[in-house]
Chains A and B, each alone.
Chain A
């Protein structure tokens, strides 16, 4: 074939082959090493899919963002992740790009633009939107490419992300590497609609199908797609046709595939075809091709040898990278005393919690142009279902107060991605009960990004969430207290204010915090609590509890709207001569055990009270710590008191009795005093 008929510049084709050869060398070395027992790690082979990233590498730079999956070793290699750092990571070594904390399925290497790698099918798509938002808002011409398999087209996160990207015309490319298999299930068995690229059109943006095994055609197609996205014309969905030659995981051939189908796919495999084409067209001599392959092999051998010499990341690293500051990690025996906010000195104004939350956001947004709000109905005139953002869209515009589709995974993912890029998003989730539909984004991604990446990247975002319960009339799906889900997911900070001033101060700290934070806003308090709130910027450090009422006989530890039930109970108990101290935790992680233990040391008794279900609740955790630390000083064992083990009922009589109230708290305290 003459060079002119190739449909691609010879030097570009050669450059594509160089990347394919590097990918193949990596693939072969891993398979050989696993087979020989030289090392052990879980490997998801990408054999046969080399052409896709090798080609994209010619059209993008390290400034462009990439998100990929566990299978994306080929994507990492072509994106430019250092091979030594990549292998060391796969082997769990100290010199890994992520300190050996994430492993190959969680590579994050901002220096090459490989931002997030997820092992959760489809979960990268919502996060890619966030990266794209940052590029768009900053006026950068970066594109974000999120890779996923054909199987991922079935999962809700991908649909939610595509819809949001279309609505907001984000500079993102949804790159579906259609290798014909979703784990062990072939396409026709999992969908009646295998026209994947057509789904984009249904959502109002461009979708194309390209031969991902033909470098010339794929290069031309991707050039057009990338130009379109860089020019600000909105997202594109690319279905890149290829074939998975290997098994889902492990080494060798795809043993699920029909022998004839696999043989036919091997005929179409891109690397061998491209190599032959380069020779046939006279672009490279056989010696030159051998030179390319040999250089790749040497590069890989050297990287592996050095990676294997790197020390295994030691157990001492267990708690580093959970949070930016290791003292925020709850640890037995470590109860740091943090300075409180001090007495506010400047001017103050009476506000409701709704107003103080709005005030905190208004100030943060004025001060920092990269703070923005996103969530359902957050725009004006309503400013959110409870009005916590009222007026902010009018003041800051539609790009900084963004009403979203009703898609919680898309909301949280967009916050994660934009925060990884350095923005300070505030995502509003209407009710805590809806955490169920976005929990993967919250606890697998926002919470773990710092740890999995060895702090190479992190998600300094804020989630504000309204919590029902206690008011009656909302039923089982709008009244829960779900904080324990988050407390049990290392990597997220949680605050739960009980006063307007605390809401403002804590939210300010959350927005400025380097870690993902969730603030619970109780419906019981949003409108009913009014109080003096300092004007101007006002922050309350995370992890500082506050004594709401002093006492000597028992310490009641609580937070959120239960603070008022406990204060009412303490008032009643005082009439009987029982002096109760009430501690408002305010911040649940980091927790202020110092002030809790100091108080209980004085009173000798403790009861932890919360609106959340008692069984496996936060109260059990706190009571247990008090008992372990102070049992010699205690007059009675520390106890806990939470809601009955039942969904919240619609019946007012049940709801009012199933959650602690001042009457039932008093009864529980009588038990504690008897003991």
Chain B
């Protein structure tokens, strides 16, 4: 089963987020709990952990600002 990654809504006031950096490269294997990317919102940066183990697929570029809920990747 694959896990879809979307821009999370981390706080009540958050409506969009910026992928500051992909810490894990496209196509690399990740384990659950590993930090996979940095999300910037409201001037603070949050380390986002992999919700599952598997192969990480990027579906959005680092630097892009997207609405909460937008699909940005997948773990297969």
Q: Which A residues are within 8 Å of any B CB, using their own CB?
A: 32-38, 40, 42, 247, 249-252, 255
Determine if A251 and B12 form an interchain contact, defined as CB atoms under 8 angstroms apart.
no
Are B51 and A251 interface neighbours, CB within 8 A? no
- Kindly list chain B residues whose C-beta atoms are within 8 Å of the C-beta of A42: 12
Task: State which of A36, A37, A40, A255 has its C-beta within 8 Å of the C-beta of B44.
Answer: A255
The contact of A36 among B11, B12, B14, B48, by CB within 8 Å, is: B48
Report A-chain residues with C-beta under 8 Å of the C-beta of B5. Answer: 36-37
Q: Give the shortest distance, in Å, between A120 (CB) and chain B (any CB).
A: 16
- Most B-side CB within 10 Å, residue of A35, A38, A252: A35
Given contacts A251-B46, A255-B44, contact A37 B69 (CB under 8 A): yes
Q: Pick the residue among A34, A36, A249, A255 that contacts B3 (CB under 8 A).
A: A36
Which residues of B are found within 8 Å of A249, using beta-carbon distances?
A: 11-12
Given contacts A34-B10, A251-B46, contact A40 B51 (CB under 8 A): no
Set of chain B residues within 8 Å of A37, measured between Cβ atoms: 4-8, 68-69, 72
B68 pairs with A40, CB closer than 8 A: yes
List the 8 shortest-distance A-B pairs measured between CB atoms, nearest first. A37-B6, A250-B11, A36-B51, A250-B10, A37-B8, A40-B9, A249-B12, A35-B48
- Which of chain A's residues have a CB closer than 8 A to the CB of B6? 36-38
Complex-state Cα separation, A40 to B14, whole angstroms? 11
A37 to B9, CA, bound (A): 7
Complex alpha-carbon distance, A38 and B2, angstroms: 12
Interface contact A40-B12, CB-CB below 8 Å: no
Are the C-beta atoms of A250 and B51 separated by less than 8 Å?
Answer: no
CB contacts (< 8 Å) of A250 on chain B: these are 10-12, 14
Identify which of residues 38-53 in chain B touch chain A, using a CB-to-CB cut-off of 8 Å.
44, 46, 48-51
Q: Beyond A249-B12, A250-B10, is A32–B46 a contact (Cβ under 8 Å)? A: no
For residue A249, which residue of chain B has the nearest CB?
A: B12
Give the CA-CA distance A370 to B35 in the complex, in Å: 58
Report the minimal beta-carbon distance from A314 to chain B, rounded to whole angstroms.
20
Whole-angstrom distance between the alpha carbons of A572 and B7 in the complex? 70
Interface size on B, residues (CB 8 A): 20
Chain B residue nearest in CB terms to A253: B46
Return A494 CB to nearest CB of chain B, in Å. Answer: 34
Find out whether the CB atom of B9 lies under 8 angstroms from the CB atom of A34. Answer: yes
> CB-defined interface of B1-36 with A at 8 Å, one 1/0 digit per residue?
001111111111010000000000000000000000
Given known contacts A32-B49, A35-B46, A251 and B10 CB-to-CB distance under 8 angstroms? yes
B51 nearest in chain A by CB position: A36
Q: Assess whether B3 is in contact with A252, with CB atoms less than 8 Å apart.
A: no
| A275, chain B: closest CB distance, angstroms | 18
Contact assessment for A32 and B10 in the assembled complex, using a CB-CB cutoff below 8 Å = no
Find the B residue at minimum CB distance from A41. Answer: B9
Which partner residue on chain A sits nearest B52 by CB separation? Answer: A36
Give the one of B6, B7, B9, B44 with max A CB within 10 A: B9
In the bound complex, what is the Cα–Cα distance between A255 and B50 (angstroms)? 22
B69 and A252: CB pair below 8 A?
Answer: no
- How far is A32 from B3 in the complex, measured between Cα atoms in Å? 12
Q: Per-position contact with A for B42-76: 1 when CB-CB < 8 Å, else 0?
A: 00101011110000000000000000110010000
Beyond the given A36-B3, A37-B6, A40-B69, could you list 6 further A-B residue pairs with CB under 8 A, ordered by the A residue number?
Answer: A33-B51, A36-B50, A37-B69, A40-B9, A249-B11, A252-B46
Contacts of B9 on A, CB cut-off 8 Å?
Answer: 34, 40
* A547 to B14 alpha-carbon distance, docked (Å): 55
Expressed in whole angstroms, the Cα–Cα distance for A36 and B68 within the complex equals 11
Q: Enumerate chain B residues within 8 angstroms of A35, measured Cβ to Cβ.
A: 8, 10, 46, 48-49, 51
The closest CB in chain A to the CB of B32 belongs to A32
Expressed in whole angstroms, the Cα–Cα distance for A519 and B40 within the complex equals 54
From residue A472, how far is it (CB to closest CB) to chain B in Å?
49
Query: Cα distance A35–B32 when bound, in Å?
Result: 13
B51 with A252: CB separation less than 8 A: no
| Contacting residue for A40 out of B4, B8, B49, B50, CB 8 A | B8
Q: Which of B3, B48, B68, B72 has the most C-beta atoms of chain A within 10 angstroms of its own C-beta?
A: B48
Q: List 6 A-B contacts (CB under 8 A).
A: A35-B10, A35-B51, A36-B5, A250-B10, A250-B11, A255-B44
Residues in A whose Cβ lies below 8 Å from that of B10? 34-35, 250-252
In the bound assembly, the distance between CA atoms of A38 and B12 in angstroms comes to 16
How many Å lie between the Cα of A34 and that of B69 in the bound state? 10
Nearest-neighbour CB distance to chain B for A31, whole angstroms, equals 9
Q: Which residue of B lies closest to A37 (CB)?
A: B6
Q: Is the CB of A32 within 8 A of B11?
A: no
Could you tell me the distance between the alpha carbons of A33 and B32 in the complex, rounded to whole angstroms? 12
- By a CB distance below 8 angstroms, the chain A residues around B69 are 37, 40
B residues less than 8 Å from A34 (CB atoms): 8-10
* CB-CB nearest in chain A for B8: A37
Contacts of A252 in B (CB 8 A): 10, 46
The residue in chain A whose Cβ has the minimal distance to the Cβ of B68 is A40
A33 to B6 alpha-carbon distance, docked (Å): 10
Please name all residues of chain A whose beta carbon is closer than 8 Å to the beta carbon of B11 when the two chains form the complex. 247, 249-250
Contacts of B3 in A (CB 8 A): 36, 38
**Measured between alpha carbons, how far is A42 from B48 in the docked complex, in Å?**
18
Once the chains bind, are B68 and A38 in contact (CB under 8 Å)? no
Cα–Cα, bound, A34→B46 (Å) = 12
Chain A hits for B49, CB < 8 A = 32, 35-36
How far apart are A312's CB and chain B's nearest CB, in angstroms? 15
Instruction: Report how far A40 CA is from B49 CA in the complex, Å.
Output: 16
Please report the C-alpha to C-alpha distance between residue A36 and residue B10 in the assembled complex, in whole angstroms. 10
Complex Cα gap A13–B44 (Å): 39
Bound Cα distance A42, B8 (Å): 11
Give chain B nearest CB distance to A164 CB in angstroms. 33
Please report the C-alpha to C-alpha distance between residue A37 and residue B7 in the assembled complex, in whole angstroms.
Answer: 6
B57 to chain A, nearest CB (A): 14
Give A296 to B9 CA distance when docked, in angstroms: 25
Within the complex, the shortest CB–CB distance from A302 to chain B, in Å, comes to 15
For the complex, give the distance between the alpha carbons of A308 and B51 in Å: 15
Instruction: Give chain A nearest CB distance to B56 CB in angstroms.
Output: 12
